[in-house]
Amino acid sequence: MKKSEYKVLVVDDDPEFVDAVRELLERSGYGVVTAYSGKEALEKASATSGINLALLDLVMPMMDGFTLLEKLKEVASEMNVIIVTGQGTVQTAVEAIKRGASDFITKPFDKDVLLKKLEVLKKKYELEGKVGELKQIISDKFGFESIISSSKVMKAVFEKATAAARSDAPVFIVGATGTGKELLAKAIHVKGERSGEPFLAVNCGAIPKELLESELFGYKKGAFTGAVKDHEGLFIAANKGTIFLDEIGEMPKDLQVRLLRVLEEYKVRPLGHTEEVPLDVRVIAASNHSIEQLKSKYLRDDLFFRLAVIVIELPPLSGRRGDIPLLVETFIGRFNMKYSKNIKGFSEGALNSLYSYEFPGNIRELENLIEGIVAVCPQDKEEITVKDLKAHLLWHEPKASGHQMLSLDKLEKYAFEQALRETSGNKSKAAEMLGISRDTLYRKLKLYEID
């Protein structure tokens, strides 16, 4: 910002001092507002917008600088204040800082010293403004606005998630693979009080169970073979922020006991350590299993109730079909830019085909479908037709009865094959894309005889 936009309120009962400081600051390019008493200073602070800093004399009749400092902070809490006095002592300086002053200067002062202090506080103000803008950008990009929807069912989800963001209670998000559980978890974090702190996500089903404990809770060098240096673990790394435990239902039961202890005491003891580390972390968990399955099969009851203080159920795409046109428009715009194409949209027939499809992979499948079509379509193509869908969508077209859905097993087999193609055969990445553990992936590959 320009110096002239940075306004300084100069307050002193000595008119000569006020005039001298005003002349100095104006000559240096600052905007200046003057006052000769505490009462006048409060009136001008209330009536004048955009005062960034106040230069206050400590000893004034009727209202001293400390009293004025406190009252100015009530009017404008973000205003920086420099206390000026001819009685400079360490105790006075300490007291000024305790009461909320940004700095302290004694009379008579060197003009360059004052100007340097003002420049430091101006830069601090500008930096705080940039941080605020960045936080707003992050909030817009990763907050609830980033989740594409206009349906009533998702409106209810957003309302509950917004309420969750205002609290610090544990949240449990339940939804099928590809419905956007991590996106919602990140939005809750961004809209909450911890938005400036870390958001760390871990897929409990994608990490081998023998490594998950050390990944979550950390370890000390030499705690086990291969522990060549200290590792703080995700809970400690996420301290003051949020940890997102995705696919929590895949966590082994013995490890669930330790997690429960951490959540009850908010302390963690890394492997090999003798002392516990206190934690201040918010926990958001998620699973693609139903609540009934989680309670009866996958999670200990005590852990489930500890995590499920606020439960949010994300509907599948088949339960919010009204969002398909909006999602299609968004994804086409995104991949047009990525692949330098100029596709306008889907034909009416192609859009109707999407409406009739169940989307077992939900929004993630729709996104991958559109990316695949946009990536391979001719450069001059402007509209996606039913014919374009046939090579990508998970259905076939029998001669006698038009479009028919594949069986569930064939759909699942195709999903695994598609994930392997998308990840160039990398099974760990394929498992993560599908939201399942590597063990589950290997079982399915064997079942469907997929090489």
Question: Which pLDDT does position 88 carry in this prediction?
Answer: 63
CATH 1.10.8.60 in the chain: give the residue spans: 318-447
Cα–Cα distance for residue pair 168/189, rounded to 1 Å: 10
CA 392 to CA 403: how far, in whole Å? Answer: 14
- Per-position pLDDT tens, the chain of length 451: 666 678 999 999 989 999 999 999 999 989 999 999 989 999 988 888 778 899 998 888 889 888 999 888 888 878 889 988 877 677 777 788 888 888 888 888 888 889 998 988 888 887 776 555 544 444 445 455 557 777 888 889 989 999 999 999 999 999 998 898 998 999 899 888 998 899 999 999 888 877 898 899 988 887 777 777 888 889 999 999 999 999 999 999 999 999 999 999 999 988 888 889 999 999 999 999 999 999 999 999 999 999 999 999 999 998 888 888 888 988 998 899 888 899 999 998 888 888 888 888 898 889 989 998 998 888 888 999 988 887 776 543 433 333 344 445 566 777 788 778 878 888 888 887 776 777 778 877 877 778 7
- Listed in order, the ranges of the chain carrying CATH 3.40.50.300 are 152-315
How many degrees, rounded to 5, is the angle at CA 164 between CA 163 and CA 167? 95
* Domain 318-447, second-level architecture: Orthogonal Bundle (1.10)
Q: CA-CA distance, 366 to 393, in Å (whole number)?
A: 9
CB proximity list for 94: less than 8 A, separation 6 or greater: none
Residue in 165, 156, 163 with CA at minimum distance from that of residue 190 = 165
Residue 419: closest CA among 435, 405, 407, 406: 435
Determine the Cα–Cα distance for residues 184 and 186; give it in Å rounded to an integer: 5
3-state secondary structure of 174: strand
How high is the pLDDT of residue 204? 92
Residues spanned by CATH 3.40.50.2300 within the chain? 3-135
Taking the CA atoms of residue 377, residue 380, residue 383 and residue 388 in that order, the dihedral angle to the nearest 10 degrees is: -30
pLDDT of residue 432: 77
Quote the pLDDT of residue 144: 59
Q: Which residues of 150-168 are buried (b: 16+ CB within 10 A; e: fewer)?
A: ebeebeebbebbeebbeeb
Nearest one of 57, 69, 77, 63 to 14, comparing CA atoms: 57
**Helix (H) or strand (E) run with residue 119 in it:** helix 111-142
Alpha-carbon gap, residue 383 to 341, rounded angstroms: 11
Q: What is the DSSP letter of 324?
A: H
Strands (E), 314-354: 345-346
**Rounded to 5°, angle at Cα 291 from 290 and 296:** 100
Q: Is 84 helix (H, G, I), strand (E, B) or coil?
A: strand
Q: Yes or no: is domain 152-315 CATH 3.40.50.10490?
A: no
Alpha-carbon gap, residue 194 to 238, rounded angstroms: 11
pTM over 0.85: no
Q: Using alpha carbons only, give the angle 163, 168, 169 rounded to the nearest 5 degrees.
A: 85
Residue 32 near residue 10, CB atoms below 8 Å = yes
Cis amide linkage into residue 108, ω under 30° from 0: yes
Rounded CA separation 272/399 (Å): 66
CA distances from residue 37 to 15, 18, 44, 57, 99 in whole angstroms, order as listed: 10, 11, 11, 9, 19
Q: Which CATH number applies to 3-135?
A: 3.40.50.2300
